[in-house]
Amino acid sequence: MEIYQRIDAIKDRPAVVLAIGAFDGVHRGHRAIIARVCEEARRRGVKSMLMTFSPTPREILGSEKEIALMKADEKIAMIRDLNVDMLCIRAFNRHFSGMSREAFMARLLKYLDLKALVAGPDHHIGKRHEGGIAFLQNYALEHAFDLLIVPKSSDAGGEISSQRIRQALKQGRIEDVNAMLGYSYRISGTVIPGKKRGRKLGYPTLNVKPHLERCLIPACGVYCVRLTLDGREYPAVCNIGTRPTFAENGISLEVHAIGVQLEQQYGKTLEIHFEHYVREERKFDKEADLISRIGKDIETCKTYLTEEKCQV
């Protein structure tokens, strides 16, 4: 996949089928658009192309600044796996957001031989969202390219969107999140030293500092997860919360690999793939009760992380 940081870095004005968007999370709705881009590009014998933004527009312009669902390099890797030929990752800032719809489209056509633009039914470009579908339909007629509209993807809860996914994460509804994404939500981070309480309880944990400074962490609670470390995958239990039994402050993210001792991992990168919400975090009056509950949580995760359910 060819990757560009600016549209004017693209040479020889290639013929493309294009989609434009934040593609935050590359969820099922995004994948439907990307699949149409690739299908149309193959049919027409041209290149498939996406233009996306980093940071996302909602991170910059939202009244309540949103947190991205994934890092830029994770988005690139996922788009590459979908067999897109070209990707332009445009830096997004307030200056760029002030570009008019006409100026934006004129710049695209200067560097691309645009054969078709693929979009959702509520797509828009340009400052203040002025370039909606009606504008794009007229512009496409005037400049001899096709505008192809892909219907919204939906489930029982409604239209699939990055905003719905964020809300479900905040509520700990991880299975709903994964169903909308089409894959397991994940957080990458670095293993850092902790207070070694898990080891004293008989269940050593890896304490994790997420890579994103502003990382969208699921609701506090205990989760069934898959842990990827050093190229290997382990079934695991993850706790997100404040460790109320020990009256600690601040949110912690720690993970216990089931059935294996993982020692001396400080400084290493890992990924936590969330699969199932087990229970809310709670305070235990006795340490023995906490130890017993952890053992039950592990058994729950062993049952859930079967080959049929999770391919672990």
- Give the CATH H-level superfamily of domain 184-310: Riboflavin kinase-like (2.40.30.30)
Identify the bridge partners of residue 189 per DSSP, sorted by sequence position. 210, 270
pLDDT in tens, the chain (312 residues): 999 999 999 999 999 999 999 999 999 999 999 999 999 999 999 999 999 988 777 777 765 667 888 888 889 999 999 999 999 998 887 778 788 999 999 999 999 999 999 999 999 888 877 889 999 999 999 999 999 999 999 998 899 999 999 999 999 999 999 999 999 999 999 999 876 665 656 678 899 998 876 678 899 999 999 999 999 999 999 999 875 444 455 678 999 999 888 777 889 999 999 999 999 887 776 677 778 888 888 888 888 886 545 443
**The predicted structure's pLDDT at residue 182:** 95
**The predicted structure's pLDDT at residue 61:** 73
Q: 30-64: b or e for each residue (b if 16 or more CB lie within 10 Å)?
A: bbbbbebbbebbeeeebbbbbbbbbbbbbbeeeee
d(CA 59, CA 64): 8
d(CA 16, CA 44): 9
**The predicted structure's pLDDT at residue 247:** 47
The reply to whether 2-153 and 184-310 are identical in fold is: no
d(CA 131, CA 56): 18
Domain boundaries, the chain: 2-153, 184-310
CATH architecture designation of domain 2-153: 3-Layer(aba) Sandwich (3.40)
**The predicted structure's pLDDT at residue 261:** 80
Q: 279-307: b or e for each residue (b if 16 or more CB lie within 10 Å)?
A: eeeeeeeeeeebeeebeebbebbeeebee
- Do residues 273 and 228 lie in contact, with contact meaning Cβ atoms separated by under 8 Å? yes
**The predicted structure's pLDDT at residue 311:** 43
